[in-house]
Amino acid sequence: MTSGLLVATTVLGLAASVVGAIAPEKTRTPLSSWLTIVACGFGFVVAVMVLKSGHVAVVHTDQLLPLSGFSLTLDRFGALFMAISAAIGACAMVFRLGYDGHGLSSRTASSVLPLFVITLLLVPAASSVTTFLFLWELMAITSLLLVLVDQRHRPEVAEAGQWYAVMTQFGAAALLVGLVLLATHSGSQSFSAIAAESAHLPAWVRSSAFVLVLVGFGSKAGMVPLHVWLPRAHPEAPGPVSALMSAAMVNLGVYGIVRVGDGLLGGGPAWWWLLVMVLGALSALFGSLHSATSTDLKRLLAYSTTDNVGLMLLGVGASGLFASTGHAALALVALVAALLHVVFHAVFKGSLFLTASSLQQATGTRDLDQLGGLLRRMPVTGSLLLVGGMALAALPPLCGFVSEWLLLQAMLHGLPSSNPSLAIAMPVGVGVLALTGGLAALTFVKAAGIGLLGQPRTEPAARASEVPRSMWLGSGILATLCLLFGVAPFLVIPAVVDAARNITGSRSTHPLTGGWQIGLSGMHGMLAPGLLALGLAMAILLVAGARRALQRGAVRRTEAWGSGRELQTARMEYTATAFGEPVTRVFEDVLRPSHDLEVSHFAESRYYVEAATFHTGLDDAFERHGYRPAASGLRWWGTLARRVPNGSVHRYLAFGLVALIVVLVVVG
Amino acid sequence: MSGSPFSSVLTLAVGAVLVCAVTAVWLSSVRSSVRVVAVQGVALGLVALILGVHQRDAGLIATAVVVLLIKGVVMPFLLTRASAGGVLARESRPLVNVPASLVASAVLIVLAFVSARGVAHFVGNTTGALVPVGVATLLIGFFVLVARRRPLSQMVGLLLVDNGIALVAFLCTAGVPFLIELGVSLDILLGVVVLMVLAQRLRIEFGDLDLDELQELHD
Q: DSSP of A291-316, one letter per residue?
A: HHH--BHHHHHHHHHHHHHHHHHHHH
A242 domain-assigned: no
Residues of A in contact with B114 (CB under 8 A): 668
pLDDT tens digit string along A240-297? Answer: 999 999 999 999 999 999 999 999 998 889 999 999 999 999 999 999 999 998 889 9
Would you state the pLDDT for residue A515? 65
CA torsion through residues B81, B86, B90, B92, sign:
negative
Residue A220 reports pLDDT greater than 60: yes
Same domain, A525 and A641: no
Mark yes or no for CB contact B211/A654 under 8 Å. no
Residue A642 reports pLDDT greater than 80: yes
Contact criterion met (CB below 8 Å) for A295 and A367:
yes
DSSP type of residue A67: T
Residue A530 reports pLDDT greater than 60: yes
Percent of chain A's residues with pLDDT above 90: 51
Would you state the pLDDT for residue A42? 95
Mark yes or no for CB contact A665/B111 under 8 Å. yes
User: Letter for the amino acid at B150?
Assistant: R
Report strand pairing: A594-601 vs A526-527.
unpaired
Residue A440 reports pLDDT greater than 80: yes
Mark yes or no for CB contact A646/B218 under 8 Å. yes
DSSP type of residue A556: P
Neighbouring residues of A503: CB distance < 8 A, sequence distance ≥ 6:
A77, A258, A259, A262, A263, A335
Of A653, A660, A668, the CB nearest to B114: A668
A355 domain-assigned: yes
A327 domain-assigned: yes
Integer Cα distance of A618 and B196 in angstroms? 62
Q: Which domain holds residue A368?
A: 275-547
A480 domain-assigned: yes
Three-state DSSP at A665 gives helix
Same domain, A518 and A648: no
Same domain, A413 and A534: yes
Would you state the pLDDT for residue A509? 65
What Cα–Cα distance (Å) separates residue A571 from each residue in A62, A339, A370, B37? Answer: 66, 44, 11, 88
Same domain, A391 and A299: yes
φ, ψ at A12 (rounded to 5°): -60, -40
A538 domain-assigned: yes
Q: Which of A98, A97, A78, A92 is nearest to A40 (CA)?
A: A92
**What is the DSSP code string of B99-141?**
HHHHHHHHHHHHHHHHHTHHHHHHH-HHHHHHHHHHHHHHHHH
Which of A642, A653, A658 should we substitute to test contact with B (largest number of B Cβ atoms within 10 Å)?
A653
Contact criterion met (CB below 8 Å) for A475 and A95:
yes
Which one has a higher pLDDT value, A615 or A392?
A: A392
Would you state the pLDDT for residue A66? 74
What Cα–Cα distance (Å) separates residue A23 from each residue in A19, A106, A118? Answer: 5, 11, 19
Reduced to 3 DSSP states, what percent helix, strand and coil does chain B have, rounded to the nearest 5? 85, 0, 15
Tell me the average pLDDT across A232-237: 91
Would you state the pLDDT for residue A174? 96
Same domain, A342 and A426: yes
Would you state the pLDDT for residue A417? 67
User: Letter for the amino acid at A220?
Assistant: K
Would you state the pLDDT for residue B1? 44
A653 touches B at CB < 8 Å: yes
Neighbouring residues of A626: CB distance < 8 A, sequence distance ≥ 6:
A225
Contact criterion met (CB below 8 Å) for A497 and A335:
no
Same domain, A630 and A524: no
Would you state the pLDDT for residue A277? 94
Same domain, A287 and A401: yes
Per-residue confidence at A57, pLDDT binned at 50, 70, 90? Answer: confident
A337 domain-assigned: yes
Integer Cα distance of A654 and A430 in angstroms? 63
- Specify whether the backbone of A69 is left (phi greater than 0), alpha (psi in -120 to 50) or beta: left
Q: Which of A528, A547, A566 is the last residue of a domain?
A: A547
pLDDT tens digit string along A109-132? Answer: 999 999 999 999 999 999 999 999
Residue B210 reports pLDDT greater than 70: no
B117 touches A at CB < 8 Å: yes
Neighbouring residues of B137: CB distance < 8 A, sequence distance ≥ 6:
B17, B18, B21, B160, B161, B163, B164, B167
Would you state the pLDDT for residue B214? 63
Tell me the average pLDDT across A165-172: 94
What Cα–Cα distance (Å) separates residue B75 from each residue in A495, B38, B84, B200? Answer: 77, 8, 14, 17
Mark yes or no for CB contact B116/A668 under 8 Å. yes
Q: What's the total number of domains in chain A?
A: 2
Same domain, A307 and A401: yes
Would you state the pLDDT for residue A297? 92
Integer Cα distance of A219 and A137 in angstroms? 13
φ, ψ at A70 (rounded to 5°): -120, 115
Tell me how far apart the terminal alpha carbons of chain A are, to the nearest angstrom. Answer: 59
Q: Which of A203, A154, A205 is nearest to A177 (CA)?
A: A205
Q: Which of B54, B48, B52, B18 is nearest to B184 (CA)?
A: B48
Residues of B in contact with A657 (CB under 8 A): 139, 142-143, 145-146
Which of B142, B202, B219 should we substitute to test contact with A (largest number of A Cβ atoms within 10 Å)?
B142
Same domain, A335 and A424: yes
Residue A95 reports pLDDT greater than 80: yes
Would you state the pLDDT for residue B197? 74
Helices (H), A453-574: 459-463, 469-487, 493-504, 529-551
What Cα–Cα distance (Å) separates residue B48 from each residue in A574, B24, B34, B184? Answer: 92, 22, 21, 15
pLDDT tens digit string along B80-138? Answer: 776 665 555 555 667 788 888 899 999 999 999 888 887 777 777 777 888 889 999 99
A56 domain-assigned: no
Per-residue confidence at B174, pLDDT binned at 50, 70, 90? Answer: low
Would you state the pLDDT for residue B175? 55
Q: Which of A287, A305, A300, A298 is nearest to A356 (CA)?
A: A298
Contact criterion met (CB below 8 Å) for A456 and A462:
yes
Residue A159 reports pLDDT greater than 80: yes
Per-residue confidence at A85, pLDDT binned at 50, 70, 90? Answer: very high
User: Letter for the amino acid at B141?
Assistant: G
Residue A517 reports pLDDT greater than 80: no
Contact criterion met (CB below 8 Å) for A257 and A217:
yes
Integer Cα distance of A487 and A289 in angstroms? 29
Percent of chain A's residues with pLDDT above 70: 94
Would you state the pLDDT for residue A666? 85
Integer Cα distance of B196 and B75 in angstroms? 12
Per-residue confidence at A513, pLDDT binned at 50, 70, 90? Answer: low
The residue ranges of DSSP E strands in A15-74, in sequence order, are 57-61, 70-74
Of A648, A660, A665, the CB nearest to B212: A648
Question: How many Cβ pairs within 8 Å bridge chains A and B?
Answer: 47
Of A646, A647, A657, the CB nearest to B142: A657
- Helical pair A328-363 and A379-392, crossing angle rounded to 10 deg: 150
A594 domain-assigned: no
Contact criterion met (CB below 8 Å) for A146 and A37:
no
Q: Which of A547, A565, A594 is the last residue of a domain?
A: A547
Same domain, A527 and A423: yes
**Cβ burial, residue A609 (10 Å; 0-12/13-18/19+):** exposed
Which helix (H) or strand (E) element contains residue A596? strand A594-601
Q: Which of A514, A531, A547 is the last residue of a domain?
A: A547
